[in-house]
Amino acid sequence: MALLQIAEPGMSAAPHQHRLAVGIDLGTTNSLVATVRSGMSVVLSDDDGRPLLPSIVRYSGTGEVEVGYIALAHQCTDPQNTIVSVKRFMGRGLKDIPHTHEMPYKFVDAPGMVQIKTCAGAKSPVEISADILKALRARAEKALGGELVGAVITVPAYFDDAQRQATKDAARLAGLNVLRLLNEPTAAAVAYGLDNASEGVYAVYDLGGGTFDISILRLQKGVFEVLATSGDSALGGDDFDRRVFCWALEQSTLSPLNAQDTRLLMAKAREVKEELTYHGETRFTAVLSTGEMVDLPITSPLLAELTQGLVKKTLTPTRKALRDAGLTPEDIKGVVMVGGATRMPHIQRAVAEFFKQTPLTNLDPDKVVALGAAIQADILAGNKRGEEVLLLDVIPLSLGIETMGGLVEKVIPRNATIPTARGQDFTTYKDGQTAMSFHVVQGERELVSDCRSLARFELRGIPPMVAGAARIRLTFQVDADGLLSVSAREQISGVEAAISVKPSYGLSDDEITNMLLASRDHANDDKLARALKEQQVEATAILEAVASAMAADSALLAPHERAAIEASMGALKKTMNGTDHRAIKAAVDALNHATEAFAALRMDASIRKALTGQKLADIGT
């Protein structure tokens, strides 16, 4: 029985048992899952040994969902129900998405985020992404032989709050515990940094299927400090395919294309682009459903010419990031290339020319993000205690508030290191005003209409005062995932309003829990069993954490404080073997509460220790 308990998935019975955690690169074109095994970060392949999972989902009328290569095979025959590059739609409204007329989908303009009508009903990009994540989760749990403790999911550094929130929702909908959202270039730097033990300032040039990111990082003694990041969240390898596709259309005289033929020619364009990475010339050949034939020769110089505008478009954010970091190309010690699109020789030439050095390509540009995410997941899951790795990331776009005349007042500037918080004071503009509404936006432009609207909320119950007398403090807090929450408080009366900034499509925690339970299609008993097990896992985790904190630092506590914590621990130990998940939760909360002051003391002590250690080191040198 005891043996069985140790093997219970998700339970960390032994303190140093390896916790199963993965890094997931949820890409526009392909997705990957990786984990750290015996100290090495490895990508987990499917049963056929293929590491990539095409980010393609196909819905059928029978409720069946196909993901990956199997869906890829249907993209030309069933284009309306086979969704490719869904990442481009994450957190986006219909009007935000370019080229919708070239896409075979039936879009539904839902509030906040677009949806796609399929034969299985309207699907939001969050649900479609969750289906990709579920497939990766299943692959990982099969390969690792147990339930995952958590996952690090990567996002483009240039993703805004709505796109990040959508990604996190998708992960939770797939039943994944999100340890952290990690910026893709930072993940790539981790993969490179740890393998090469590099120090200095590096640039990460990340051209994915649908997004472009550039990050400037300083690496020093295991600390990865992002100095600046920039990019274009609507520029990627897909756009190169489209240029080839448009060229092929111009060169041929075809009757108007149906959805299938559009998809066929787009797929062909991608193939041609990939072939030209390794060969100087190839042919664009396709037979359409109408019987028409396309057969055109194309060379790599022609591809370079067709797409030189796109390559140039990546250098504008690159210059901006360098300027924000206060650096010039000469200051950059190395350039890391990420994303399959960076295999194109003319991109490598352009980057080499700009930075005046040959970019680093020794890690597979398709895998490097997932490999780095896995390393971070391993650390966050607690498998590498004491390892000196620290990621200091930044927020990519400024956050602000709408003021009079539709102008934006910036509250948190772009490239601020996260977590970060900033307060801003406002006042009433009318006598006796009792409510004030706020509009939170993200972007660099001066006009609200040019920025992304994140949320609107209202502070009510302000006591009537003369105009200008109320003192309303608005606080923006961005957490380590780059997600924003905002609170407003009238300072004199203490009236408060707080929101987690969720775009209007955003799912509440309860909704996600319900969807999860519904999707599992479990009977009521199962739900209870699951809730019980989750609370027991939680209880084990907190008991373990408190026990190790007590072992290390109980000297900081007075005897009665120690006794109070021990009593709470005892109560939880007793409750957790029962069957009442609510009672266990109450005991967990009680222990949480009992350790608050202790946690603060430990934090203070660790800071003092950090500074003392440094002074000793100074004396030593």
Partner 1 sequence: MIDFSKNHFQLFGLEPAFQLDLARVEQSYRDIQAQVHPDKFSHAPDAERRLSMQWSTHVNEAYQTLKQPISRARYLLKLHGVDTLEETNTAMPADFLMEQMEWREAIGEAKDAADAAGLDHLGAKLRQAMHHLQDDVGRRLDQSHDYPGAAEAVRKLRFLEKLREEINDALEALEA
Please indicate whether residue 25 is annotated as part of the active site. yes
Judged by CB under 8 A, the chain residues 317 through 346 that form the site for partner 1 are 319-320, 323
Q: How far is Cα of residue 351 from the mean position of the Cα atoms in its chain?
A: 26
Please indicate whether residue 184 is annotated as part of the active site. yes
Interaction of residue 591 with partner 1, rule CB under 8 A: yes
CB-count exposure of residue 59 (10 Å: 0-12, 13-18, 19+): buried
Query: Closest CB to partner 1 among 142 and 608?
Result: 608
Give CA–CA dist 553/9, Å, rounded. Answer: 31
Interaction of residue 16 with partner 1, rule CB under 8 A: no
Please indicate whether residue 250 is annotated as part of the active site. no
Interaction of residue 411 with partner 1, rule CB under 8 A: no
Q: Catalogue the long-range contacts made by 385-389 (C-beta closer than 8 Å, 24 or more residues apart).
A: 387/222, 388/221, 388/222, 389/190, 389/194, 389/222, 389/223, 389/224
Interaction of residue 392 with partner 1, rule CB under 8 A: yes
Please indicate whether residue 96 is annotated as part of the active site. no
Give CA–CA dist 154/183, Å, rounded. Answer: 5
Give CA–CA dist 500/479, Å, rounded. Answer: 11
CB of 595 to partner 1, least distance (A): 6
CB of 82 to partner 1, least distance (A): 36
Query: Closest CB to partner 1 among 70 and 390?
Result: 390
Judged by CB under 8 A, the chain residues 468 through 497 that form the site for partner 1 are 477, 479-480
Give CA–CA dist 400/533, Å, rounded. Answer: 42
Interaction of residue 13 with partner 1, rule CB under 8 A: no
Give CA–CA dist 572/543, Å, rounded. Answer: 8
Interaction of residue 380 with partner 1, rule CB under 8 A: yes
CB-count exposure of residue 143 (10 Å: 0-12, 13-18, 19+): middle
Query: Closest CB to partner 1 among 20 and 72?
Result: 20
Query: Closest CB to partner 1 among 126 and 322?
Result: 322
Interaction of residue 180 with partner 1, rule CB under 8 A: yes
Whether the CB-CB separation of 427 and 492 falls below 8 Å is answered with no
Interaction of residue 75 with partner 1, rule CB under 8 A: no
Interaction of residue 264 with partner 1, rule CB under 8 A: no
490 Cβ contact partners less than 8 Å away, ≥ 6 residues apart: 459, 462, 463, 470, 471, 472, 473, 496
**Paired residues of 409 in beta bridges:** 401
Q: How many CB atoms lie within 10 A of CB 407?
A: 13
Q: Mark the segment that binds partner 1 (CB under 8 A) among 78-86, 356-364, 377-385, 491-499.
A: 377-385
Whether the CB-CB separation of 261 and 245 falls below 8 Å is answered with no
For partner 1 (CB under 8 A), the number of binding residues is: 53
Q: Which secondary structure element, helix H or strand E, spans residue 475, and what is its range?
A: strand 472-478
Catalytic residue among 184, 241, 393, 490: 184
CB of 29 to partner 1, least distance (A): 27
Interaction of residue 546 with partner 1, rule CB under 8 A: yes
- Would you please indicate which residues are annotated as catalytic (active-site) residues? 25, 87, 184, 206
Q: Note the residues at the interface with partner 1 (CB under 8 A).
A: 150, 179-180, 220-221, 223, 225, 315-316, 319-320, 323, 376, 379-382, 388, 390-392, 416-421, 477, 479-480, 541-542, 545-546, 591-593, 595-597, 599-600, 602-604, 606-607, 609-611, 613-615
